[in-house]
C-alpha cells in the first residue's frame, strides 16, 4: 500500500514547493535527533525527510499523485529485469548510463538540499581485562552537528532560498554533443547550486548556508563484555549530520585489543604458560594464578607431568559476547630442567638415577607406540598419520 507522503508532512495534495519546504523545516526543528533524542522522534524524522525528498522531486511526486509509491517501486526491477541494480525508468536511463545524462532531454530534477549524513569511525584501544569485563569510556568526537542558529535551514533570519538562476530549479544543466549515434543530450549537476535547484542569497552567518557546523563533543561509549579485536560498537545517530540539516549517520567505535602480558586469546579461550621445575613435574604440585576477571584459580600439576602437557580449566576464559558463558583457560606446563647443579644436587641426582635402572637412554623405534615427543609428532604429521 502506498504511503501518504502528504499526510506525513501535514500538507494538502496541491501544496506548492515552498509550502512543502516550510512544513518540512517546521517538523525538522521538532524531530531532529540533535533536538529530540527520543527514538520514536528519530524514526518519524526519517519518514518526514523521505516524504520531503519524494514530494520535492517532480517525477516522484507524479508517481505519488498517480497512486503509487516511488520508494517501493524503485527496487522492483523494470527495464530488462535487472532488479535493484538495473535500470528502472526506461529508455532515458539507458542513455544516462552510457552518456552521463538523460536521453531525449528528460531530466532527473533537483536532488534537494537536505541529504543524509555519513557514518563516522573511531578506534578505541582496550586492555584484555577491559574486553573481558566490559567498560564505559568517554570519547571525544569531531563531527558535523546541526547548526543551532538556523536549525538546518541554512538561511539568515527570515530569508528564504531562491530558485537557481543557472538551472532555473532543475538542479542540472544540459548540453548537446555529436557522436556516431547522432546528437546526444547529456546532463550534469548545476555548478551554481550543486544540484539542489536553489541557492541561498543570504546564508546563515554561522554555517554559511550548509545547515551544519563542526563541533567537538564528548560521548560515553558502553563496551560490552566479550568484545574482540576488530569488533565495532554502533551508536545510532551520532555520526555526521547531513547537508541541509539532514539526518545524522551512525558512529562506529572499533575495538583494538592490546596484547596481554600473561594471556593469549583464542576466541573465548585463553592460553598461558606455567614454568614447572623438574622435581615438581615428577612429584606433582599446585599453583594459584590470577584470572582475567579477577580472583585466582588453582592449577593442579599431576605427578609425572610431561613437557608440553596442558591443564584445562573450564569457565576461566573470556565471556562469550552474547551468552556470557566463559571459555576455557589452557595452562601450558613448561617443565624446566636445571642447567647448573651444585655438588650436593649432582650427588642426589646420581643416587636417584641408580634407583631408576629401568629408565635408560635408548633409541626409540619409529613404530613404537611410546613415541610421544616433539620429533615424533612432527614425523607423524609429515607422514599423514
Flag whether 207 is marked binding: yes
Helix axis angle for 39-55 and 58-65, nearest 10°, is: 100
Flag whether 272 is marked binding: no
Q: 49 to each of 45, 53, 54, 75, 246, how far by Cα in Å?
A: 6, 6, 9, 19, 8
Residue 19, phi then psi, degrees to nearest 5:
-65, -40
Flag whether 190 is marked binding: yes
* Helix, strand, coil percentages for the chain (3-state, nearest 5): 25, 30, 45
Asked if 101 and 95 count as a contact pair (C-beta separation under 8 A), the reply is yes
Give the list of residues 6+ apart from residue 40 with CB closer than 8 angstroms, or none: none
Cα(33)–Cα(235) distance, integer angstroms: 12
Chain centroid, CA 143 distance in Å:
17
Give the list of residues 6+ apart from residue 286 with CB closer than 8 angstroms, or none: 298, 299, 300, 301
Q: 163 to each of 10, 66, 186, 295, how far by Cα in Å?
A: 24, 26, 22, 70
For 128-206, list the strands marked E by DSSP.
135-146, 162-163, 172-179, 182-189, 198-199
* Gyration radius from the chain CA atoms: 35
DSSP state letters, 208-236: TTSSEEEEEEEEEEEEPTT--TT-EEEET
Cα(158)–Cα(201) distance, integer angstroms: 12
Flag whether 131 is marked binding: no
**Annotated binding-site members for Zn(2+):** 147, 150, 164, 167, 190, 193, 204, 207
**Annotated binding-site members:** 147, 150, 164, 167, 190, 193, 204, 207
Amino acid at each position: 500500500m502506498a504511503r501518504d507522503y502528504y499526510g506525513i508532512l501535514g500538507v494538502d495534495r496541491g501544496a506548492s514547493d515552498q509550502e512543502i519546504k516550510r512544513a518540512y523545516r517546521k517538523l525538522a526543528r521538532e524531530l531532529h535527533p540533535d533536538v529530540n533524542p527520543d527514538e520514536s522522534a528519530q524514526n518519524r524524522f526519517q519518514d518526514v525527510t523521505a516524504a520531503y525528498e519524494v514530494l520535492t522531486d517532480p517525477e516522484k511526486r507524479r508517481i505519488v499523485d498517480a497512486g503509487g509509491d516511488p520508494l517501493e517501486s524503485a527496487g522492483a526491477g523494470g527495464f530488462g529485469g535487472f532488479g535493484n541494480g538495473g535500470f528502472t525508468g526506461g529508455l532515458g536511463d539507458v542513455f544516462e548510463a552510457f552518456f552521463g545524462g538523460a536521453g531525449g532531454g528528460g531530466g532527473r530534477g533537483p536532488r534537494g538540499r537536505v541529504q543524509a549524513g555519513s557514518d563516522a569511525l573511531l578506534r578505541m584501544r582496550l586492555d584484555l581485562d577491559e574486553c573481558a569485563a566490559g567498560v564505559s569510556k568517554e570519547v571525544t568526537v569531531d563531527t558535523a552537528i546541526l547548526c543551532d542558529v538556523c536549525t538546518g535551514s541554512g538561511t539568515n533570519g527570515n530569508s528564504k532560498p531562491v530558485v537557481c538562476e543557472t538551472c532555473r530549479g532543475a538542479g542540472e544543466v544540459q548540453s548537446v554533443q555529436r557522436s556516431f549515434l547522432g546528437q546526444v543530450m547529456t546532463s550534469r549537476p548545476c555548478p551554481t547550486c550543486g544540484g539542489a535547484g536553489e541557492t541561498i542569497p543570504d546564508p546563515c552567518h554561522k554555517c554559511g548556508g550548509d545547515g551544519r557546523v563542526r563541533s567537538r563533543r564528548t560521548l560515553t561509549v558502553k563496551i560490552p563484555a566479550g568484545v574482540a579485536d576488530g569488533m565495532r560498537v554502533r551508536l545510532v545517530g551520532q555520526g555526521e549530520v547531513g547537508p541541509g540539516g539532514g539526518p545524522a549517520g551512525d558512529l562506529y567505535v572499533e575495538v583494538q585489543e592490546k596484547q596481554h602480558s600473561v594471556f593469549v586469546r583464542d576466541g573465548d579461550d585463553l592460553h598461558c604458560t606455567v614454568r614447572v621445575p623438574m622435581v615438581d613435574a615428577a612429584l606433582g604440585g599446585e599453583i594459584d594464578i590470577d584470572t582475567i576477571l579477577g580472583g585466582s584459580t588453582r592449577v593442579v600439576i599431576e605427578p609425572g607431568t610431561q613437557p608440553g602437557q596442558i591443564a584445562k580449566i573450564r569457565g576461566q576464559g573470556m565471556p562469550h559476547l552474547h551468552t556470557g558463558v566463559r571459555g576455557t583457560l589452557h595452562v601450558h606446563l613448561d617443565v624446566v630442567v636445571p642447567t647448573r647443579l651444585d655438588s650436593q644436587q649432582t650427588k642426589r641426582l646420581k643416587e636417584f638415577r641408580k634407583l631408576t635402572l629401568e629408565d635408560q637412554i635408548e633409541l626409540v623405534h619409529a613404530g613404537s607406540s611410546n613415541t610421544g615427543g616433539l620429533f615424533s609428532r612432527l614425523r607423524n604429521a609429515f607422514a599423514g598419520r
